[in-house]
Amino acid sequence: MKLQVLPARLDSAAANMAADFLLLRRYPGPGNASVRFRAYGWHRPAFTFGYSQKIDWVRGQLPADAAGAELVRRPTGGGLVDHREDWTYALVIPRGHELEKVRAVESYHSVHGALRTALASCGHPAVLLERCEPALEAESENGELAGCATAKGPTVCFTRAELYDVVDVTTGEKIAGAAQKRTKEGLLFQGSVRRSSAAGVRDWEELGKAFVAELARVLGGEAEETPWPDFREGEHEALTEQYAAPEWTGAR
């Protein structure tokens, strides 16, 4: 099994969400049983929010300085995420892989465990939050996990940590959260690391490499750099338009 590491890209919020979902929808191809990973950035200030969230609630949570930022509904669950200072990644695990077959809370634990190890190796000690009050496994019927959803409803990510989020070993401040989507093709894991909460990390490129290496170990495979897959002609552009449309953002 290979952990295919795709080239890093900067793109709009809608294009980033479209790329992540297409990596899940068109994956795996014939004979491809590999996991895919990508880290990416943002052309403009951006916020994303979970698929099932109400747009009125989301708009009410935006900070006062968010004017002009892109706002896009994700294909995964979770709360509102501010991407203006984060390090963002996506992981696509094909159907049938051991990590795809376990409950969402278990895959969340495994991926965040790898990230915790990578953060520590790059100078910022961290732990996973093992208990919540109340203890929570925010897992939906279709196997999605919204790390920022709580028993009391949605939250703004990084305002508080939930079960198996990555937190600072000393202060308990949340460093990383994520959300998942499970389909017949596999599992999409979208994660975010708040740079200001991981001040010990001096080289974010090195963090990416350390995370990939630890993910490969956890997944039982070998990491290799891989070019972008060929989507169908116009497919990414069409899905980007869908994610950018007001009808998608305000669908609920």
φ and ψ of 142, to 5 deg = -95, 15
Q: Using CA atoms, how far apart are residues 211 and 43, in angstroms rounded to an integer?
A: 24
Q: Which pLDDT value is given to residue 1?
A: 73
| Residue ranges in the chain modelled with pLDDT below 50 | 135-152
Tokens for 107, please give them. Answer: 């895959």
Q: Which pLDDT value is given to residue 135?
A: 42
φ and ψ of 229, to 5 deg = -70, 160
Is domain 2-249 given the CATH code 3.40.367.20 in the classification? no
Q: Where are the domains of the chain?
A: 2-249
Q: Which pLDDT value is given to residue 137?
A: 43
pLDDT tens-digit series, residues 133-190: 554 444 443 444 444 444 445 555 656 678 999 999 999 999 999 999 999 999 999 9
Q: Using CA atoms, how far apart are residues 194 and 176, in angstroms rounded to an integer?
A: 6
φ and ψ of 234, to 5 deg = 75, 0
